[in-house]
Chains A and B, each alone.
Chain A
Amino acid sequence: MSLNCNCPLPTAITTITPAACDENFGQIQKIAIQRVGDDFDGGMGNTITVLADWQTKIALATDVKIQVSPFIDNAVIGAGEAITNGGGDNTTLNGRVELVGINKSNVSGMFKSLTSAVIDALQSYNCENAIGVYFFNADGKIIAEELSTGVYTPFPISSFFVGDKTNNGFATRDENALSFQLNAGWSKNYKIITPAFNPLTAI
C-alpha cells in the first residue's frame, strides 16, 4: 500500500466503468504558464473556450497573467515512478517490495531557434515557485486540470527549467532544453477541452 492512500479503505475496490472511446493527448506543442491560484470557472468573462477570456488574462500584469510559450519540440511526459523500499532482501517482511510513494512526473521538451530576449523571459520562470501549465496539443485542444465540473486550472508544476542555448554547428537549429515536473497523480483529473479558437495560433 502506498503512503498516499486513504484509510480506512472503501468497502469494495473501485468500479472501473469502461470508456466509450480511447483518449490520447497526441503531440503537445505549446504550454501556457500561469501562477497557481486562478481558474477558468466558466462564468461571464472567465471561460476556457473563449479567446477573449484568454486574451484578458494574457494582457494582465498581475498574478493572474497567463503567458503562452513558443512551440516545443519533442515534448514528452514521463510517468512518475513508484518509490519503494526493499525487495528480495531482509529489510522488508518476506522480502517484498514496499511501496511508499510516487515520484513526480518529469516533462521534457526542446525550444528551437529562440532569441536572447525570449530565452531571458523563459528563464525568469526558473525562479517561480508556484506556477502551473496548460497544455496545447497539435489538434488545438487545451488540456487542463478540472477542479470541479466546468472549472479548470493549470496543472501545478515544480522545478521549471529552461537551459541555455546549445549550438550544434552547420545546418542545425540552436536549442534550449525545457523540463519541469508534474505532481504525482496529475492525470487523475485532466480534461481535454475543444476551444472556439486555435490556441496554437491565436494566442
Chain B
Amino acid sequence: MIKLQIKETLEVREFEKAHALSILRLKNCAFELPQDSQFEFINNEFRSKPDKAIDIETPNKGNSKTGSKPRKQA
C-alpha cells in the first residue's frame, strides 16, 4: 500500500501500488506523495528514495560489538 495526499487538503489516503501509480500518472493529478514517503515519483514510476548519506564526521560512540570477550575460566 502507498500513501498519497490530496494537494489541496493534505488529506492522506492509502492505495494499492498499481492504483496509486495510475493516479499519479493522471494529468492535473489532485494527489502527490507525502513529504515523509519512502518513495518518489520520477518518470512515471515509483522509486525508493535514496538512503541518507553516511555521516563520516560523527565520532564512534564506542558501542561496537567487535573484538573478543575474555574467556570464562572453567
Contact = CB atoms under 8 A, between A and B. Distances in A.
Contacts of B15: 56
Interface string A51-89: 110011011110000000000000000000000000000
Contact of A59 (B11, B13, B23): B23
B38 interface: no
B30 A61 contact: no
A52 B19 contact: no
A202 B28 contact: yes
B29 interface: yes
Contacts of A56: 13, 15, 19, 23
Given A45-B13, A52-B6, A61 B28 contact: no
A51 to B, nearest CB: 5
The residue among A45, A51, A58, A202 with the most chain B CB atoms within 10 A of its own CB is A51
B18 interface: yes
A55 B29 contact: yes
Given A45-B13, A52-B6, A61 B22 contact: yes
A52 B28 contact: no
A55 B13 contact: no
A59 B22 contact: yes
The residue among A51, A59, A60, A202 with the most chain B CB atoms within 10 A of its own CB is A59
A51 B22 contact: no
B8 to A, nearest CB: 8
Contacts of B25: 59
Contact of A203 (B6, B11, B22, B28): B28
Nearest to A54: B30
A99 to B, nearest CB: 48
A52 B22 contact: no
A61 B18 CA distance: 9
B23 A55 contact: yes
A59 B30 CA distance: 12
Nearest to A198: B28
5 contacts: A52-B11, A52-B30, A60-B19, A60-B22, A61-B22
Q: In the A-B complex, list the 7 residue pairs whose CB atoms are closest, starting with the nearest.
A: A59-B22, A52-B30, A59-B23, A51-B30, A52-B6, A202-B28, A55-B26
